[in-house]
Structure 1
């Protein structure tokens, strides 16, 4: 069992807490980089939420 499988197992069924944790980590990274990489951080947050099934925006088409 990989580390990702273990993490998914722990977060399964808790999309609200997962989403909050990903947002908090992204905000921390934005703060440490003074917003220099905010686009990349936002993309990473969305991908993590998709990976863990906690993204409420996954039904929405991508913005251009």
Structure 2
């Protein structure tokens, strides 16, 4: 694994963390009323960044 792969992995981990935190905040502010839509948005954002649902880069 090269240095750029390491940084890419760290960036993806941070991206997943941010996406999850924002989704949790939206769920909290809306009382979970839009949980399904928020989850779909989180999945779409992770797909756009190339992050799978477990936070690992797809192979």
TM normalised by structure 1 equals: 0.65
Query: Which residues of structure 2 form unaligned runs of 5+?
Result: 1-6
Query: Which residues of structure 1 form unaligned runs of 5+?
Result: 1-11, 60-64
TM normalised by structure 2 equals: 0.71
Count, aligned residues: 47
Determine which structure has the larger helix proportion and give its number: 2
Q: List 4+ stretches of structure 1 deviating above 4 A.
A: none
Q: Deviations over 1:6-51 (max 9, x none)?
A: xxxxxx8111110000000000000010000000000000000000
